[in-house]
Amino acid sequence: MNPRLRHWREAATLLLAAGTPGRPPRSPLGPFDYELLLLRRSSRSGFTPGAHVFPGGLAEPADFSAEWLGLLPASPHCGLRAVKPPPPGGSRAPLFATDRESLGSPLPGEVAFRICALRETFEEAGILLLVPGRGPAPPLPAERLPPAAELEEWRRRVREDASCFLRLCQHLGCAPNIWALHEWSNWLTPVGRAGRGGRRYDTAFFLCCLEQRPPHASQDDQEVTAVLWSSPPEAIERFQSQEIWFPPPQFYEFCRLCNFSSLGELQRFSSARALEGCERWMPVMLSAPDGFIQLLPGDELYPEDPDYTGEKKISMSTDKKVEDLMKEGGIFHRIVIKNINNLAVYVNIQAKYKHINPLMMKCDNSDYNSRL
């Protein structure tokens, strides 16, 4: 974590994909052989209450503790493969580029935020992703985990004190499986969309592909009130039918994951692509009479100098309807929001960092995406 930040806090989240047995597809995109874990946030949550989100949460000082070096390899970046320098005109996301030693931690951000994502996944869903010894190594077999009652007690401790995740790993003689997590994206909460108390988060998104069937997950009945495993197109279908709802970044990422119907294909792509790094995206809100547009970097309407902190008090609005803006435009990287369950992603720019653009999914019956 970075105590020098004033306008947002750092966080990490995990897109956890697991293989599923064959079953009739619920989506016109055909069968997908994997599902992702979604957790329903408590209605009492100060940020996106009631939403279905990927497991994750705030980075804690314990995630950056020097004691982790006693459990992880001594090699550079604790055995993680080095990310390539950014392309000309690009930049490493500040979340990862920050010099953590200057903040008192010997752990680079690439390591600490992976630990954060794994710790939060254990806290919120009861899923423990470890490797025996110092790693990298094959995942710890389920039979080597403590009995369910003991594991639940550890989960309670970790929820109350993040440093207990380190103690749990020491107790088991294991390391958190940071090597299974691939850097995927980085989202910063938009100005004007902060949660209760002005909460904004700079969040690292990691992707992890498990070859086995979805592990048992359970809500903690505090932060999380339900768990759901769903393939990307099924999650979008549930969203569109208002069975569930999730924030725009999750919608965007599910649309991106719709490119991959095979878990093996997703694993190969994410593993190779992660070496390219990623840039930080802060959506900028454009208000229209009939909805909102979240503008993303590369869109023709995205400001040259975004107001990252909110101190400039800039508000973007237009008298034009969303449909007119879409017909007049030509370079799109945006999420159109009509209401909480009516979102659409439009992208026709070249993806950077060897990433892949989302499939353009929409929830209404307008026809202005037919020209893309």
Q: What is the pLDDT of residue 31?
A: 87
> Cβ(225)–Cβ(41) under 8 Å?
yes
- Tokens of residue 286, six digits: 């454009």
- Tokens of residue 42, six digits: 């408590």
pTM: 0.93
Q: What is the pLDDT of residue 311?
A: 83
CA 197 to chain centre: 22
d(CA 76, CA 71): 14
> Cβ(15)–Cβ(226) under 8 Å?
no
> Cβ(228)–Cβ(166) under 8 Å?
no
Mind listing the pLDDT tens digit of every residue in the chain (372 residues)? 677 788 899 999 999 999 987 665 566 678 899 999 999 998 887 778 899 999 999 999 999 999 999 999 988 899 999 999 988 888 899 999 999 999 989 999 999 999 999 999 999 999 999 999 998 999 998 889 999 999 999 999 999 999 999 999 999 999 999 999 999 999 999 987 655 667 899 999 999 999 888 899 999 888 899 999 999 999 999 999 999 999 999 999 999 999 999 999 999 999 999 999 999 999 999 999 999 999 999 999 999 999 998 888 778 999 999 999 999 999 999 999 988 889 999 999 999 999 999 987 665 534 333 333
User: Residue 164 belongs to what H/E stretch?
Assistant: helix 164-172
The 8-class DSSP code of residue 214 comes to: P
Residues 6+ apart with CB under 8 A from 355: 185, 256, 273, 276, 278
Please tell me the chain's helix, strand, coil percentages from 3-state DSSP, rounded to the nearest 5. Answer: 30, 25, 50
Length in residues, the chain: 372
